[in-house]
Copies of this chain bind each other. A is one copy, B any other.
Amino acid sequence: MQFLSDNAASVHPALWRAMQAADAPDAPYDGDALSQRLDAAFGEVFGRDCAVLWAATGTSANCLTLASMVQPHGGVVCHREAHIEVDEGGAPGFYLHGAKLMLAEGEGAKLTPAAIAGVIDPIRNDVHQVQPHAVSITQASEYGRAYQPAEMAAIGAYCTERGLRLHVDGARFGNAVAFLGCTPWEACQGAAALSFGMIKNGGMSAEALVFFDTGLADVARYRRKRAGHLQSKGRYLAAQLLAMLQDDLWLANARHANAAAQELASAAHDRLLHPVEANEVFLRLTGPEREALRAQGFSFYDWGDDAARMVTAWNSPMEHVTALARAIAAL
């Protein structure tokens, strides 16, 4: 019974069908009919003009969007525990040609205007110090916390005021929207671009780079090719993205994962390190407690010495979830 991560889950059957339906040859790269439909399809989801590119990983999606906003001599404010800082193998340094990540603090791996200002305000306005060009936040955050629409609006306004572009890492954007119950745009409002994650949510190999500042996509298209991310059979990636949007499959999948996480959370109320607002559950659990759970067949990651991280997925079997919830409650 697997609660290690959502990032290796199976691919949703609708996506398999969509990929196979795309098997007949079409124009290579992103010249195919499916890739051409992406702008309109995402435009409908967000209720505004978008320029949309696919890429095969969250890391490349984050870095290609950021690279369109930040010059090599600039910086990006992000949380000290942001995925781009901690877990992308230095990819931002590569894609942004040595631009600097500027680390801010914030509860639940979330930023606020004050937290961003705490990083930016002390920077002297001279050439000896790297100047910020953008802000990157993660919706839902690395600790499974969602930004409320009002929080997004405040960050967006702050960025506008300070002349900074806003990037949203949406590796689990679906989970955030499902939790918030708001429109997709409300959940990322103010963003110049969003890395809209699909892989953890039932996809195989396609994330969406959604540019609300559509001019940035013109740069990103060159950078994507230059980074070797322009697949020749791109129609299989476009097919995945369109299938995820079809009948809001992305939301349905996210709701399942969220519901599973809530069931775990309610069984472990007093153990929660963070409120559960997506599909990640961080629990205080002693070593022997973790061992006891593993002995019952549950797999998950340790989180430091006294805690564990459990992640639910679009297809977590509810009987596994219920079993784990009971096992935790029984500890």
Contact = CB atoms under 8 A, between A and B. Distances in A.
Interface of A: 2, 5, 7-11, 16, 20, 23-28, 32, 55-64, 71-73, 75, 86-100, 127-131, 199-200, 204-205, 219, 221-233, 235-236
Contact of A226 (B26, B90, B221, B235): B90
A39 to B, nearest CB: 16
A90 B100 contact: yes
Contacts of A222: 73, 89, 127, 131
Contacts of A75: 90
Contacts of A99: 90, 93
B88 A93 contact: no
Contacts of A97: 72, 93-94, 97-98
Classify the secondary structure of A's interface with B: loop
A98 B230 CA distance: 19
Contacts of A93: 72, 93, 97-100, 130, 226
A221 B27 CA distance: 32
Nearest to A23: B10
Given A226-B73, A228-B63, A228-B229, A87 B10 contact: no
A55 to B, nearest CB: 7
A231 B25 contact: no
Given A8-B25, A127-B221, A199-B232, A90 B98 contact: yes
B11 A233 contact: yes
10 contacts: A5-B28, A72-B72, A75-B90, A89-B130, A89-B222, A89-B225, A91-B225, A97-B97, A97-B98, A127-B224
B73 A89 contact: yes
B129 A94 contact: no
A49 to B, nearest CB: 21
A64 to B, nearest CB: 8
A24 B317 CA distance: 13
Contacts of A62: 228
Contacts of A32: 8
Contacts of A28: 5, 7-8
A236 B203 CA distance: 12
Given A56-B228, A94-B97, 17 more contacts: A7-B233, A56-B56, A56-B205, A57-B228, A57-B230, A57-B231, A57-B232, A59-B230, A72-B97, A86-B129, A93-B93, A93-B98, A93-B99, A94-B227, A97-B98, A98-B98, A229-B229
A7 B29 CA distance: 9
Given A2-B25, A96-B98, A226-B89, A232 B7 contact: yes
Given A28-B5, A93-B100, A96-B98, A225 B20 contact: no
Contacts of A56: 56, 205, 228-229, 231
Given A8-B27, A98-B98, A204 B233 contact: yes
Closest 5 CB pairs of A and B: A93-B98, A60-B228, A89-B225, A59-B228, A8-B28
Contact of A227 (B20, B219, B227): B227
